[in-house]
Amino acid sequence: LATEMAGLQERITSTKTGSITSLQAIFVPADDYTDPAPATAFGHLDASIRLERYLTELGIYPSVDPLSSTSRVLDPNIVGQQHYDVAREVQRVLQKYRDLQDIISILGIDELSEEDKSTVARARRLQRFMSQPMFVAEVFTGRPGQFVKIADSVSSFKDILEGKGDDLPEQAYFLAGTLDDVRENAKRLQGDK
């Protein structure tokens, strides 16, 4: 399998007259990412997007797990230093939240330090902010789809990390493209009460 995958990947290339891009969906048997077949395939990919059931259960679409998804393009020389730093800080906060979930489930959130409580609240906001107002989902969500510039997205994540949205309710972060959209959602939620 490894030899066949390597042979296939070597044929995917860019030339002066064009390029071939390969998008592969890989089934992971029993969600075992150590299985030899998917493990072999992942080594040849420039990026992998891992979809998680637990995110779907939270209503977050697309259900992309930013902690286990990877990209060789997430490099400060390619995306810029600010984008890289913000992305890594988002991952750090989400990982800290994941690490704290066992403590929360056993002892409750009240047993956390104030700093950890703040981290958990921001992580939950970041997680919900990763839901996206997609055009294909308009019929299901009732929210119009939108395009968001990368710079606006990075800026919004940076603001959330800095606590600029701590006063906004968590549910306002669902299906918002920018922090300004979150603020609008918060006003709408306040008006519904």
Nearest to 130 by CA among 33, 29, 42, 51: 51
Q: Is the dihedral of CA 61, 190, 147, 121 positive or negative?
A: negative
Establish if 167 belongs to a structural domain.
yes
pTM over 0.75: yes
Domain span at 116: 72-182
Establish if 159 belongs to a structural domain.
yes
Establish if 107 belongs to a structural domain.
yes
Give the HSE-up count for residue 28: Cα atoms under 13 Å, Cβ half-sphere.
15
Express each pLDDT in 23-54 by its tens digit: 778 888 888 888 887 777 787 788 889 989 89
Express each pLDDT in 82-126 by its tens digit: 999 999 999 999 999 999 999 999 999 999 999 999 999 999 999
Establish if 61 belongs to a structural domain.
no
Number of domains comprising the chain: 1
Residues 6+ apart with CB under 8 A from 162: none
Establish if 55 belongs to a structural domain.
no
Establish if 83 belongs to a structural domain.
yes
Q: In CATH, what number is assigned to the domain containing residue 100?
A: 1.10.1140.10
| Cis status, amide bond into 133, omega within 30 of 0 | no
Q: Structure tokens of 142?
A: 């009732």
